[in-house]
Amino acid sequence: MARSQTTKKPTRIQREKTRSILEAALDVFSDFGFRGTTIDMIAKRAGVSKPNILYYFDSKEAIHKALLAELLETWLAPLQEIDESGDPIEEICKYVAQKLKMAQNYPRESKLFAYEVLQGAPHILPELEGDLKTLVATKAEAIAHWVAAGKIAKIDPHHLFFSIWATTQHYADFDIQVRAVLPDGKDPFATAGPFLDRMYRALLSPDPDS
Amino acid sequence: MARSQTTKKPTRIQREKTRSILEAALDVFSDFGFRGTTIDMIAKRAGVSKPNILYYFDSKEAIHKALLAELLETWLAPLQEIDESGDPIEEICKYVAQKLKMAQNYPRESKLFAYEVLQGAPHILPELEGDLKTLVATKAEAIAHWVAAGKIAKIDPHHLFFSIWATTQHYADFDIQVRAVLPDGKDPFATAGPFLDRMYRALLSPDPDS
DNA sequence: GTCTATATCGAGATAGAC
DNA sequence: GTCTATCTCGATATAGAC
């Protein structure tokens, strides 16, 4: 019986090994997707044997699920932080900047998520329809209040979030294309930051006639 | 020797069968990705046998490549149409609307492309670094002229394109997530159109102080 | 706990009958 | 041209020694 199926608390060695397997798996899954990844690839990258992987995790899918579960926690954190009592435009631009930073520093997580959603979110659809939908609804309401108070332009809060997710994660998920198209020597993230900041300030600035 | 390796021109039957195989393959590849798709799935959906598929195409990869080649032609067409002598904001908003329409009407193509780029564009990297980069450079220059003439706000043309691609294709590629998060009964594409139009008009409107 | 060896299975591709 | 049957290989997962 594998450790992962028992309830005994893991030793330090076990925790470290579990971590290094997850770390290696994130590397490979984010590059090749679930189906394109073999346990052997993960084993090689983690520096352990294939059966040893299956001692710590019941199956390839179990590794994948563990990664997605971890991911969701951290992925939604910045959204939580949007504060209705703060300055509207600054709050949203801060969120955009945080999301772009995450795309830069955690591209593997972004791509793992992209693969999952592209496939129809087989493992996390319940979370999307549950926690995520609820959280977005809450924050969308805050934004609707800002709109109603005339503090920002009259925009659809849901599509605002979609556009923020799309534009920031694009630099992680479509990294290859971005680098292929950008002129040589132009850093994607350094130049994307000011562009996006400007875009959302323009979008959100309240109309004079409102 | 398979027909696909000969140089004889195909009969009507052969062309129709090739088409129906490609059609079925697009369905399956766009749902499950290259590695997640089996020839059997394509065969079932096309209503032919597995060996029959391999009579018309040399391999699974050959089908995939054929789809990508077709895709690129149509995918870049709207970008070509941006006309430097037209009204700047109308030209760009027209492009945005066209791209959104394509995401709505050709979501399979969008997802096929997304899978390919996520994986590191193994089949189309040369085209991205060649034709696409060249085309974008040309159009970016046109936009730079508009900026220099004070006709639109001072924005980075490359990141403008990235943001348009990201925000429009998001509704095809992340369709599942969009629908999971949107309030019930709210149509994604119908509500995205006005949002994006407003966003790009706000972004591009020239500064008073320029 | 970790390894070598292996059972098992799914899938790409081929052979050969019709 | 199209089928049934099959070859072959790679990958998940397991058995069993150490």
Q: Which CATH number fits domain B65-204: 3.40.640.10, 1.10.357.10, 3.40.1360.10, 3.40.630.10?
A: 1.10.357.10
Distance CA A113, CA A73 (A): 12
pLDDT band at A73 (very low <50, low <70, confident <90, very high): confident
Nearest nucleic acid nucleotide to A61, CA to C1' distance: D12
Judged against a pLDDT cut of 60, whether residue A3 lies above it is answered with no
- The DSSP output letter for A129 is I
Q: What are phi and psi of A194, to 5 degrees?
A: -60, -35
Token readout for A209 is: 């006639």
User: Which residues in chain B are closer than 8 Å to A203, comparing Cβ atoms?
Assistant: 198-199, 202-203
| Whether the Cβ atoms of residue B180 and residue B162 lie closer than 8 Å to each other | no
The predicted pLDDT at position B13 comes to 87
The predicted pLDDT at position B12 comes to 86
User: Which residues in chain A are closer than 8 Å to B165, comparing Cβ atoms?
Assistant: 170, 174
The predicted pLDDT at position B209 comes to 60
DSSP string, B38-60: -HHHHHHHHTS-HHHHHHHSSSH
The predicted pLDDT at position A209 comes to 60
CA A205 to chain centre: 27
Global pTM value: 0.95
Strand D positions within 7 A of protein Cβ atoms: 1-5, 10-16
- The DSSP output letter for A131 is I
pLDDT tens by residue, B188-206: 999 999 999 999 999 999 9
Per-residue pLDDT averaged across A33-46, rounded? Answer: 97
The predicted pLDDT at position B1 comes to 42
Domain ranges in chain A? 3-58, 65-204
pLDDT band at A1 (very low <50, low <70, confident <90, very high): very low
| Whether the Cβ atoms of residue A177 and residue B122 lie closer than 8 Å to each other | no
Angstrom distance, A4 CA to D12 C1': 18
User: Which residues in chain B are closer than 8 Å to A136, comparing Cβ atoms?
Assistant: 181
Q: How far apart are the first and last CA of chain B?
A: 66
Give the number of other CB atoms < 10 A from CB of residue B87: 12
Q: CB neighbours of B85 closer than 8 A, spacing ≥ 6?
A: none
Residue owning tokens 């089996």: B38
Give me the residues near strand D, CB below 7 A. Answer: A 37-40, 50-51, 54, 58-61; B 3, 11, 13-14, 17, 48-52, 55-56
Q: CB neighbours of A148 closer than 8 A, spacing ≥ 6?
A: none
> Smallest Cα–Cα separation from B26: which of B56, B59, B78, B65?
B65
**CB atoms B117 and A177 under 8 Å:** yes
Q: CB neighbours of B197 closer than 8 A, spacing ≥ 6?
A: B93, B96, B97
pLDDT tens by residue, A97-147: 999 999 999 999 999 999 999 999 999 999 999 999 999 999 999 999 999
pLDDT tens by residue, A151-160: 999 999 999 9
Give me the residues near strand C, CB below 7 A. Answer: A 3, 11, 13-14, 17, 48-52, 55; B 37-40, 50-51, 54, 58-61
How many Å is the maximal CA-CA distance in chain B?
69
Q: What is the CATH number of domain A3-58?
A: 1.10.10.60
Distance from CA of A46 to the nearest CA of B (A): 21
How many Å is the maximal CA-CA distance in chain A?
69
Q: What is the number of CB-based contacts under 8 A between chain A and chain B?
A: 171
pLDDT in tens, chain B (210 residues): 444 444 557 788 889 999 999 999 999 999 999 999 999 999 999 999 999 999 999 999 999 999 999 999 899 999 999 999 999 999 999 999 999 999 999 999 999 999 999 999 999 999 999 999 999 999 999 999 999 999 999 999 999 999 999 999 999 999 999 999 999 999 999 999 999 999 999 999 998 765
Distance CA A202, CA B165 (A): 19
- The DSSP output letter for A84 is T
Judged against a pLDDT cut of 50, whether residue A6 lies above it is answered with no
Judged against a pLDDT cut of 90, whether residue A63 lies above it is answered with yes
